[in-house]
Chain A
Amino acid sequence: MEPLACRSESGPAPSPAESTQASVTLAQLLQLVQQGQELPGLERRQVAATLDEPTASRLPRRPKPWEAARSAEHPAPQFQTGDRGLADPPSGQRSRLEEPGSAVSEAPGPLQL
């Protein structure tokens, strides 16, 4: 499926107080996108990094439950490079309109929900 431009190009989003949180189903949403229509209540933000320093940590790191069970480090295992045969990969192209795992090895078809 070709990636579609999903963003509304119209004016700024309504403030949270006035926006209606539309409970649009996924199927309705996909239909709106495919028809090139605006998504209801689409929120647009202009958030940027503050570049502040992190608040200083005051707590000690806690041991993980599995660390309590092990007394000492030991060397990493020897990796064996196994069979590298791969199944035919899918095209690798995807858009967010396809939920993960919807790609199939053949030509992409309609979204399977």
Chain B
Amino acid sequence: MSATPGGGVRTLRVPGRHGYAAEFSPYLPGRLACAASQHYGIAGSGTLLILDQNESGLRLFRSFDWNDGLFDVTWSENNEHVLVTCSGDGSLQLWDTARATGPLQVFKEHTQEVYSVDWSQTRGEQLVVSGSWDQTVKLWDPTVGKSLCTFRGHESVIYSTIWSPHIPGCFASSAGDQTLRIWDVKTTGVRIVVPAHQAEILSCDWCKYNENLVVTGAVDCSLRGWDLRNVQQPVFELLGHTYAIRRVKFSPFHASVLASCSYDFTVRFWNFSKPDPLLETVEHHTEFTCGLDLSLQSPTQVADCAWDETIKIYDPVCLTMLA
């Protein structure tokens, strides 16, 4: 593996591993977790990569192998060492970065690939939600071996499950059934169903500064914003990507800024409050770009990963101009 030094884009190349998800640690500035798979996630093993930034670039701090591909990763919100991944074999894994081997725990209930995992963001809870191709969402307490609850309703594979950063016990999901659904852990039935696109919806995220606003990213190449108080039509639509949108994230620092990555190999930055919302297009990957995260400590720093076997951390110009 090699790291490219210098200001600008910092790259780590991981031969034989195709990155699916990247997440900055909420505790340690410059620490990044990446869920990756062998053979594009079709077959073979998976690897959880823990990266640290230093003055000369990106360094691999530790890696952990799993028996099947890893498709998503989420950091604990109450322990800087702990994170959770989810896998093609239907299981979730709990890891400890301070230990050389792992995982600590394996949670096996889903009957098909688990594509999404997220640790709750609100202060009063420590919960994990997982979304699977078996069309169910499961709720977990990471200290308990069995799931707390299973949510049924989606009519196709689930791609994304994301906790609200504001509303305790509330999470969103997006699926191949072309809907965005909003759930509440206090009831097993869905609260809101939004027929958000006429295509599979691969990603969704919550606005960090407006608790009613959720964005979806779909195979139709569009991003749409939804006000949950009135889901009859989107409050914004962002066009520009030329292939399916694989992941979308709202900025932790700017209320109307978001980032998206795509099978068109690009990462794009948007400000939906502007008449010309596309801020910048970053084209530094040569394959499907699947993982994307925005730093919680630096208003300008972004991480991404792609099927070209690279993980990159960088500061796009448009975010440095906003800071």
Contact = CB atoms under 8 A, between A and B. Distances in A.
Highest count of chain B CB atoms <10 Å: which of A26, A78, A99: A99
A69 B209 contact: yes
Interface in A47-79: 47-55, 57-59, 61-62, 64-66, 69, 76-79
Interface residues of B, number: 84
Interface in A92-106: 92, 94, 96-97, 99-101, 103
B288 interface: yes
A81 interface: yes
Given A45-B45, A55-B96, A97-B42, A77 B202 contact: no
A62 B296 contact: yes
B106 interface: yes
B217 to A, nearest CB: 10
A82 B80 contact: no
A101 B44 contact: no
B191 A59 contact: no
Contacts of A103: 156, 176, 200
B246 interface: yes
Given A47-B67, A89-B155, A89-B176, A29 B39 contact: yes
A10 interface: no
Contacts of A6: 42-43
Given A94-B133, A100-B244, A85 B195 contact: yes
Interface string B182-211: 101000000111110011101000001101
B320 interface: no
A69 B209 CA distance: 9
B30 to A, nearest CB: 14
B288 A99 contact: yes
A35 interface: no
A44 B43 CA distance: 10
A1 B145 CA distance: 34
A41 B44 CA distance: 9
Interface string B69-88: 10000000111111000001
A62 B123 CA distance: 11
Given A79-B228, A103-B200, A96 B105 contact: no
Given A49-B104, A50-B104, A65-B252, A82 B231 contact: yes
10 contacts: A22-B16, A41-B16, A42-B44, A43-B45, A45-B45, A54-B96, A86-B177, A86-B193, A100-B176, A101-B218
Q: List the 5 closest pairs (A to B, CB-CB), nearest first.
A: A101-B219, A6-B43, A21-B16, A55-B98, A57-B79
